[in-house]
A = this chain, B = another copy of it.
């Protein structure tokens, strides 16, 4: 099991947007330069965050992205779900109904089996943990120097 790199990218971008206390939107190009990422593809991931309501975008010259809400109202779960999809990591393909189970009537399989129950329980614990942490929490936990350096860098590259 592996989370896509996009998650790392979008989390970093949200953190960066939180550190820059400006109201100005930040363009894909600048964010991509900040982390040395492919601009076109990063833009796609940012778009998904816009659709998910985490970011808001302004088109046109001097346009870009900004947080759609204050950081206290953005959970890590939202960011992760937006970039990685909201589906469960464990997806049952009902193999119990194949082979030995194929001879039995379908109504026997209505109830969710113990495997799905167990896996889902674990996944809910994961989600609960991510939902309990907000972007504001991360901003507060990070060393202040990191925020300052980010602001400095964005000042310099204009």
Contact = CB atoms under 8 A, between A and B. Distances in A.
Interface of A: 1-5, 7-9, 11-12, 15, 33-37, 76, 84-85, 87, 89-93, 95-96, 98-100, 102, 104, 113-115, 117-119, 121-123, 125-130, 133, 137-138, 141-142, 149-150, 153
Nearest to A116: B8
21 contacts: A1-B2, A1-B85, A1-B89, A3-B90, A3-B91, A5-B93, A7-B119, A33-B99, A34-B99, A34-B100, A35-B95, A35-B96, A35-B99, A35-B100, A36-B98, A37-B99, A114-B138, A118-B138, A122-B126, A122-B127, A125-B125
Contacts of A153: 100
A115 B79 CA distance: 12
Q: How many copies does the complex hold?
A: 2
Given A89-B3, A115-B12, A122-B129, A37 B100 contact: no
Contact of A99 (B36, B89, B92): B36
Contacts of A15: 114-115
How would you classify the secondary structure of chain A's contact residues: helix, strand, loop or mixed?
Answer: helix
A137 B118 CA distance: 10
Contacts of A96: 12, 35
